[in-house]
Amino acid sequence: AQRVTQPEKLLSVFKGAPVELKCNYSYSGSPELFWYVQYSRQRLQLLLRHISRESIKGFTADLNKGETSFHLKKPFAQEEDSAMYYCAQVSETSGSRLTFGEGTQLTVNP
C-alpha cells in the first residue's frame, strides 16, 4: 500500500538552529509531493509543493528520488515555525487525491 512516512512525531530545536523534517514516500513513479502546516489555533494549510521549487517562509524541500525522500528544511528556525507539519503525496489509486503522513510536531525554543 502507498505510504508516506514521517519518522519523527516530535522535533524540538532552538531558535536560529537549522531544522529538517523528514518525509519518505513509496510512490513508484514520478510523485507529486507537498508539505502542509497547521499552526496553533489555525487551520491546516498548504506550505509548499515540490513541483514549484519554491521557498516559503524560508522553508525548502527537495525531492530525492534515489532515497524516495522529500525532507523539509530551514537553515535558521524561528519560534513562529512551531507547528504540526504534514507531508502529503498524490495518491496512485484513483480519486483519493492526497495521502498524508503521520505528522511531525515542531517546537522551536527561544
Partner 1 sequence: NAGVTQTPKFRVLKTGQSMTLLCAQDMNHEYMYWYRQDPGMGLRLIHYSVGEGTTAKGEVPDGYNVSRLKKQNFLLGLESAAPSQTSVYFCASEAASGGLPYEQYFGPGTRLTVT
* Binding positions for partner 1, rule: CB under 8 A: 4, 6, 9, 32, 34, 36, 43-46, 49, 86, 88, 90, 95-103
What minimum distance in Å lies between the beta carbon of 14 and partner 1?
25
On whether the CB atoms of residues 15 and 109 are closer than 8 A, the answer is yes
> What backbone torsions phi and psi does residue 50 show, to the nearest 5 degrees?
-70, -30
Q: Which amino acid, residue 62? A: D
What minimum distance in Å lies between the beta carbon of 24 and partner 1?
14
Instruction: Tell me the three cell numbers of residue 110.
Output: 527561544
Q: Which is nearer to partner 1, 9 or 76 (CB)?
A: 9
Radius of gyration of the CA atoms of the chain, in A: 13
What minimum distance in Å lies between the beta carbon of 110 and partner 1?
26
Q: Which is nearer to partner 1, 79 or 102 (CB)?
A: 102
Q: Which is nearer to partner 1, 17 or 46 (CB)?
A: 46
Can you spell out the DSSP letters for 58-82? TBEEEEETTTTEEEEEESS--GGG-
